[in-house]
Amino acid sequence: MSEENARKAVYVKPKTKITAFTVVNTIVFILISIFILIPIWKVLVDSLDGTAGYGMRLWPKEFTLSAYKMVATRSNLYVPFLISILVTVAGSLMGLVLSTLGAYVLIQWEMPGRNLFSWMLLFTMLFSGGMIPTYIVMRNLHLTNTLWSVILPLAMNVYNLVLMRNFFEGIPASLYESAKLDGCTPMGIFIKIVLPLSKAALAAIGLMFAVGYWNDYTNFRLYITDNKLFNFQMKLRNMVMDSDLPTEVGLSPNTIQNAAIIVAIIPFMILYPFCQDYFVKGVNVGAVKE
C-alpha cells in the first residue's frame, strides 16, 4: 500500500455534532420559509386557474395561461415596462456610483472632518425633510413630471453607503499601503484595488437599489402626473385596483390580477440566481490576509 493510500485509509471524517440549537434553528427557518412561500404559491396557482377566487388551492382547478397572454399582449404596458427598466438601470448605476465614492471618501482616515461628515449622513437616516418639503424642493427645481424626480431620491441611500463603507474598511490596510508605495493615486487605488475586491458588496447593494427602483410606487405617485411617464407598477396598480382589466369569457378577474403580480416579480426571479454567488464570497478572496 502506498503512502498516499495509507493516509486515506487512516483518515476518518469527523462526525457532525447535532445540537439542540441546530435542530431548533432548522425548524424555525423551515417554518419561516413555509410562511413566505404560502402566499407566493397562492398567487402563482390563482394566476394559472381560470376560476380563481379568494380561497386557498394547492393546484389550479382549471389550468390556463390566458391571463399571462392577456397581460403580455396589452400594448399599453409596453412603454411603462421600458420606463421601469430605464429607471431601474439608470438609478441603480447612479446609486452604486454615489455609494461607492461616498464610502471610499469616508474611509480616508487622514481626511479632516471625516467623522463630522459621517454623523451628518447618519443624521439623515433618523430625520428626513418630510414629504411636503421634499415635494416643494422637487417642484422648485422643476423636476416634477420628469424621470429625475424618481431617480434622484432613491440614488442617495445612506444605509447602503454605510454598508459599503464597512465593507471597504474590511480590506487589509497593507493593500492600500502597497498600492501607494507603487505610486498609485487614490482614484487608481479605488478602481484597481477596491472595486475588484468589492464584487460581493456591489452585487448585494446593486440588487437592493434595483429592487427599490423596480418596485417604486410612492415617488411616481407623488411627482409624476403625466400618464405617459408611469412605470410598470403604476399601470399594474391601475389594472388591479381600478378594475382596468381586460375581459374574457370564462376567465376570472382574480386570475388576471395574480398573473400581473407574477409578471411584475419575474425579472428579479430571473436576476437573483446570477447574483447569488457573489453574496457568499469574501472581500479578500486572493488578497493579502492580515
* Rounded Cα–Cα distance for residues 37 and 264 (Å): 17
Q: What is the CATH number of the domain that holds 275?
A: 1.10.3720.10
In a domain, 285, yes or no: no
Question: Does any domain span residue 6?
Answer: no
Q: In the predicted model, what is the mean pLDDT of the chain?
A: 80
pLDDT-derived band at 215 (thresholds 50, 70, 90) equals confident
Where helices occur in 156-252 by DSSP H, the ranges are 158-169, 173-181, 186-189, 199-214, 218-223, 232-241
222 plus 80 within the same structural domain: yes
Q: Are residues 158 and 207 in the same domain?
A: yes
Residue predicted with more confidence, 184 or 30: 30
Q: Which of 53, 68, 83 marks a domain boundary? A: 68
- What's the pLDDT score for residue 246? 59
- Closest C-alpha to 77, from 252, 269, 242, 238: 238
Q: Is residue 284 included in any domain, yes or no? A: no
Q: Which domain holds residue 48?
A: 15-68
What pLDDT is attached to residue 285?
Answer: 39
pLDDT of residue 31: 92
The pLDDT of 20-47, averaged and rounded, is 87
Helix (H) or strand (E) holding 65: none
- Cβ-Cβ contacts under 8 Å for 78 (sequence gap 6 or more): none
Q: In the block, which residue shows the cell 469527523?
A: 14
Q: What is the pLDDT of residue 89?
A: 92
pLDDT score of 180: 83
Tell me: pLDDT of 108 over 60. Answer: yes
- CA distances from residue 30 to 25, 40, 280 in whole angstroms, order as listed: 9, 16, 21
220 and 141 housed in the same domain: yes
Instruction: Note the pLDDT of residue 217.
Output: 86
Do both 166 and 262 map to the same domain? Answer: yes
The reply to whether 247 falls in a domain is: yes
Contact in structure between 47 and 68 (CB atoms under 8 Å): yes
User: Can you tell me which residue has the cell 429592487?
Assistant: 211
Does residue 289 lie in a domain region?
Answer: no
Q: Of 12-26, 123-137, 236-250, 258-272, which gets the smallest average pLDDT?
A: 236-250
Q: Tell me the pLDDT tens digit for each residue of 196-207.
A: 888 888 888 888
Confidence category of residue 14, pLDDT binned at 50, 70, 90? low
**Average pLDDT, integer, range 257-273:** 80
* 6 SS3 class: helix
Q: Is residue 63 part of a domain?
A: yes
The reply to whether 129 and 231 lie within a common domain is: yes
| Separation CA 70–CA 27 (nearest Å) | 41
Identify whether residues 136 and 218 lie together within a single domain.
yes
pLDDT at 244 over 70: no
User: Which of 52, 68, 84 lies at the terminal end of a domain, its last residue?
Assistant: 68
30 and 100 within one domain:
no
> What is the structure's pLDDT at 90?
93
| 78 in the same domain as 57 | no
Give the best-scoring range by mean pLDDT among 82-86, 128-132, 273-277.
82-86
Specify the range with the lowest mean pLDDT, choosing from 51-60, 118-127, 133-142, 145-154: 51-60
pLDDT of residue 283: 40
Question: Of residues 273 and 248, which shows the higher confidence score?
Answer: 273
Cross-strand bridge partners of residue 63: 49
| Whether residues 137 and 78 fall in one domain | yes
SS3 79: helix
The reported pLDDT for the residue numbered 92 is 92
Query: For every residue of 75-101, which 3-state class applies, written as one string?
Result: HHHHHHHHHHHHHHHHHHHHHHHHHHH
Q: What is the mean pLDDT of residues 266-283?
A: 68
Residue 246 counted as domain residue = yes
Residues pairing with 49 in the sheet: 63
Per the structure, how many domains does the chain have? 2
Does residue 10 belong to any structural domain of this protein?
A: no
The reply to whether 88 and 22 lie within a common domain is no
Q: Give CA torsion, residues 222, 226, 232, 237, to 10 deg.
A: 60
**Co-location of 37 and 165 in the same domain:** no
91 and 226 share one domain: yes
What is the percent of the chain with per-residue pLDDT over 90, rounded to a whole number?
9
